[in-house]
A and B are shown apart, each in its own frame.
Chain A
Amino acid sequence: MKNIKLKMARVEKDLSQEELAKLVGVARQTIGLIELGKYNPSLNLCLAICKALSKTLDEIFWEE
């Protein structure tokens, strides 16, 4: 399932996928695949993404 919340949070901070990837320390494709719902990140990676976007886990990764 697509992670729209992640995309919105990224756009809110005016970051490209590449910029977010650089902040987190992963490849751009990894961020892209997480947003498309084609890759399940580990808890550590989720936390790193949340920290980079100043959001909580629930705000980005909780499925409604």
Chain B
Amino acid sequence: MKIRDERIENIRNKIGLEAYLITLAIALLSLVGKFYLYGHSIGGVALELLIVLGTGAYSGIRLLLLGVYSDEVELHDRTNALSMSKKNLFIGLGSGGLLALYFGINSALRFATTAQERVSYFFVVFFASLMIYMPLFIAVVLLLNLVGRNDGKE
């Protein structure tokens, strides 16, 4: 069996990962910068969104299909008091809450004219977004968890 220099391969893989993270950071900075300078235009940040979401989705799907995610869950649950499913649930709840907060604040600042309007806009949009996005995030997180575990068991 032909031997390949694994040390060199490992170093190359490590550098590849670092390069990916740098690319991701640059794309995110560009995304935030463009939103700040030119407003909320999806067309203007399509490339950045493709880089950030596309590579993330690719990595996630590959991890699931190779069964690596379920192995990671197994190792994580062995050494942590909080299980991965509960952790993901909290992350889903937190993300939904943060997004609802952002939408609430955004609506209050952009569309309200008086202080009273700001408060009412914030609460209406915040709770409406909470009702929409929190269950959505939780459902996505639980579904991913379920798919990941089933892949591992097969």
The chain B residue with its CB closest to the CB of A33 is B7
The count of residues in chain A whose C-beta lies closer than 8 Å to any C-beta of chain B is 13
- Cβ contacts A to B, 24 pairs, < 8 Å: A24-B3, A25-B2, A25-B3, A25-B4, A25-B5, A26-B3, A26-B5, A26-B6, A26-B7, A26-B8, A27-B7, A27-B8, A29-B7, A30-B5, A30-B7, A30-B8, A33-B7, A39-B7, A42-B6, A44-B1, A44-B6, A45-B3, A45-B6, A48-B3
Q: How distant is the Cα of A41 from the Cα of B10 in the complex, in angstroms?
A: 11
B: residues with CB less than 8 A from A are 1-8
Cα–Cα, bound, A26→B11 (Å): 14
A41 to B6, CA, bound (A): 8
A33 to B8, CA, bound (A): 12
Give complex CA distance A30, B7 in Å.
7
Q: How far is the CA of A27 from the CA of B5 in the complex (A)?
A: 7
Q: A24 — which chain B residues lie within 8 A by C-beta?
A: 3
For the complex formed, measure the closest distance between the CB of A31 and the CB atoms of chain B, giving whole angstroms.
10
Tell me the A30-53 residues at the B interface (CB within 8 Å): 30, 33, 39, 41-42, 44-45, 48
